[in-house]
Every structure is written in structure tokens, then in C-alpha cells.
């Protein structure tokens, strides 16, 4: 059984989010997703997410290729989460290229190409103007 784990905010869910989850799942037998907490998102991006952490967890949990979700409380805890879920592969978008190579000691680390021309920030901007 190969377990894949990935992390993200997944705010204002869009097709880029869907595609990375589908591609991550295709690398193994089950996909576990760490959804960034509201507090962590504020620290990372300097703004509160549009959808609350409980709404984002609910949405990601309902995606067909996702087997389990949990709240990611800190960026520094990735190794602990990987061990906790016995994950064999960590998937990150290539906006993080190279940043998690030190975790190769506990699992395989794969960076997947982002879907071009879409992001939560862009969707918010599009709706705003």
C-alpha cells in the first residue's frame, strides 16, 4: 500500500487544485491531504482565507481521489505528519521545488508542475474587478 501525502490551503477551490490532487493520488493507493489552518494561512500569505478551515477540510474530504484530510497547523511539522500517516511519497507543487529535499531521508519527494494561469489569488482578483 503506497500512501501519498500533500499539503496546501486549497482556498476557493479551482481546477489547479483538483489536478494536483488527482495526479498526487495516481502516484499511490491512497492520498492524505494536510489542509493549512486559517492561522497558518495568515502567517504564510498575510490574509485570511475566503473559506474557513472547516469548510476547506469539508470540500477536500469530499473529493473522490482523497482518502483522508487533516489540519496542517505548522509548516515545520511536515516530517511529523509524514511519519504519523506512514506516508511513502510527499507531493508538492513545483512552486516549492527543492524546498523539501531534506525529507528524502523519510520518504520520496515529488514536485508536480502547477497548472498554468490559475491561482486562488487570481480568482479573487477576477471576481473583485
Q: How many CB atoms lie within 10 A of CB 71?
A: 15
CB of 64 to ligand CTP, least distance (A): 17
Stretch that binds ligand CTP, among 25-33, 61-69, 74-82, 113-121 (CB under 6 A): 113-121
Let me know: does 21 contact 124? Beta carbons within 8 Å: no
Let me know: does 75 contact 44? Beta carbons within 8 Å: yes
Please list the residues that pair with 32 across neighbouring strands. 5, 68
Q: How many CB atoms lie within 10 A of CB 127?
A: 9
CB of 33 to ligand CTP, least distance (A): 9
Give the cell for residue 93.
507543487
Stretch that binds ligand CTP, among 14-22, 62-70, 73-81, 82-90 (CB under 6 A): 14-22
Report the chain's terminal Cα–Cα distance, integer Å.
47
90 interacts with ligand CTP by CB under 6 A: no
Stretch that binds ligand CTP, among 66-74, 75-83, 98-106, 110-118 (CB under 6 A): 110-118
- Residue of 4, 5, 17, 51 interacting with ligand CTP (CB under 6 A): 17
34 interacts with ligand CTP by CB under 6 A: no
Amino acid at each position: 500500500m503506497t500512501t501519498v501525502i500533500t499539503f496546501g490551503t486549497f482556498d476557493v477551490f479551482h481546477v489547479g487544485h483538483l489536478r494536483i490532487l488527482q495526479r498526487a493520488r495516481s502516484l499511490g493507493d491512497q492520498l492524505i491531504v494536510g489542509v493549512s489552518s486559517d492561522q497558518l494561512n495568515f502567517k504564510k500569505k498575510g490574509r485570511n482565507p475566503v473559506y474557513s478551515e472547516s469548510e476547506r477540510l469539508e470540500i477536500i474530504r469530499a473529493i473522490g481521489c482523497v482518502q483522508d484530510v487533516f489540519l496542517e497547523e505548522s509548516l515545520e511539522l511536515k516530517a511529523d505528519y509524514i511519519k504519523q500517516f506512514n506516508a511513502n511519497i510527499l507531493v508538492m507543487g513545483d512552486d516549492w521545488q527543492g524546498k523539501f529535499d531534506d525529507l528524502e531521508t523519510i520518504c520520496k519527494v515529488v514536485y508536480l508542475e502547477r497548472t498554468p494561469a490559475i491561482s486562488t489569488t487570481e480568482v479573487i482578483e477576477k471576481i473583485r474587478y
